[in-house]
Structure 1
Amino acid sequence: MNINFLKDELKLVVSKKRYDHSIRVLKTALHLGEIYNVDLNKLTIASLLHDYAKEMPKQELIKISKDNFIIESKDYLDNSEILHSYASAYIAKNTFKVEDSEVLNAIKYHTTGRQNMKLIEKIVYLADAIEPKRDYPYVEKIRDLALVNLDKAILLEVNKKIEYLLKENYVIHIDSIEMRNWLLKTS
């Protein structure tokens, strides 16, 4: 797939701020991909498309989710922060003809994570959380940990995310809880 084409297409649908974020996620993912010996082309596609639908109108996100991901999204239809990942995966598959399940899953689960994540999914999930402009408590520790133990870095990140969501009284996606529990059992 032509990476410059993807970058140009992304520029057409997201703000400069979101585009710049996607480029930082890409750079972070590629750095981690080199450390963990992951297919860098797959990481590139997933990183560039992970937020493709982030700025779509909420009604479009809901429609795509209802029509294509109802089992995963039915309890979260009021949450664009979750729905955009499903819509981005849908667009990757249907508009850009991405067929690789690892790439599609990396896009689909970059917000929530899930149990049994493949390495590419873990990297995109974490790269989105730790790209250089992210600034929240423990992010530096998570960045450092990501360089030596991806699972422990994700576990720390999801623990801090869940703490935040609980404090703010937000709904926690079941996939995030299942990912956390899976990592605790397997790490």
Structure 2
Amino acid sequence: MDRIIEVLKDRIGEERLNHTLSVVEEALSLAKRHKAPEDKVKIAALLHDFAKNLTLEESLRLAKEYGLKLDDVTITSTELIHGPLGARMVKEYFNIGDQEILNAITYHTTGRENMTTVEKIVFLADFIEPGREFEGIQIIRAKALEDLDEAIFMALDSTISYLLKKKSIIHVNTVHARNFLLGKRLGENINEKA
């Protein structure tokens, strides 16, 4: 773990590392609360922003080198590309083959339908870590302690609302994640009907 932190110091800088360490702390707290594998949660949370500080040009170049197939929305933003690119990079750099860890890194920004508990925890920990402050976050933080799905549903609603106000692109994974959780509430698969 010390090796990963040393690499991160050089790679993402001190400010992003402080955010990352807050995400790790939040993720481990949620893992304990929801009985998730702490080792997987810790690694995924620690490496979730591995590709965050790259420019869009650098990200696209590396994605091409790694042979990543990215959709037309993902290639427009470092916010979207850093998840899948980061997962691919840490797979190579740290020889991580655990797909659940890699998926948690890949989808920590957009979410996706039918996330595992590890994926949910990393997604939420990044969203609610103590350094983040916006209207409604305290409610989502409280909900995360009792119901991961409901907290994620609230986080996705918050994200979609924010992106709509900014007139920004909303990744289809985010919509599918929300619809999947809504379908679970209603006892049906909404994404299959869409």
Q: Which category of TM-score, normalised to the shorter sequence, fits these structures?
A: over 0.9
In the other structure, the counterpart of 2:115 is 117
Paired residues of 1:73 and 1:83 also in contact (CA < 8 A): no
Calculate the aligned-residue CA RMSD, in Å: 1.1
Paired residues of 1:65 and 1:87 also in contact (CA < 8 A): yes
Paired residues of 1:89 and 1:105 also in contact (CA < 8 A): yes
In the other structure, the counterpart of 1:126 is 124
2:48 to 47, 50, 56: 50
- 1:123-144 alpha-carbon deviations (Å, 9 max, x no partner): 0000000000101111000000
Report the residue type matching 1:95 in the other structure. Y
Q: 1:30: how far off? A: 0.1
- 1:21-74 alpha-carbon deviations (Å, 9 max, x no partner): 00000000000000111111111110111001100122121123345332x433
Q: 1:15: how far off? A: 1.7
Give distance in 1, aligned partners of 2:17 and 2:71. 25
Give distance in 2, aligned partners of 1:84 and 1:141. 28
Does residue 170 of the first structure (1) align with residue 168 of the second (2)? Answer: yes
Give distance in 2, aligned partners of 1:122 and 1:113. 8
Higher deviation after alignment, 79-88 or 140-149: 79-88
Q: 1:78: how far off? A: 1.8
Paired residues of 2:104 and 2:122 also in contact (CA < 8 A): yes
Report the TM-score, using the length of structure 2 for normalisation: 0.92
Report the TM-score, using the length of structure 1 for normalisation: 0.95
Q: 1:76: how far off? A: 2.5
Report the residue type matching 1:30 in the other structure. L
Give distance in 2, aligned partners of 1:17 and 1:120. 25
In the other structure, the counterpart of 1:8 is 6
Unmatched 5+ residue regions in structure 2? Answer: 186-194
Give distance in 2, aligned partners of 1:160 and 1:7. 31
Report the residue type matching 2:97 in the other structure. E
Give distance in 1, aligned partners of 2:72 and 2:90. 21
Paired residues of 1:130 and 1:143 also in contact (CA < 8 A): yes
Paired residues of 2:73 and 2:169 also in contact (CA < 8 A): no
Paired residues of 2:54 and 2:78 also in contact (CA < 8 A): no
Give distance in 1, aligned partners of 2:102 and 2:71. 16
Report the residue type matching 1:50 in the other structure. H
Distance 1:138 1:68, change over 3 A: farther
Paired residues of 1:65 and 1:73 also in contact (CA < 8 A): no
Unmatched 5+ residue regions in structure 1? Answer: none
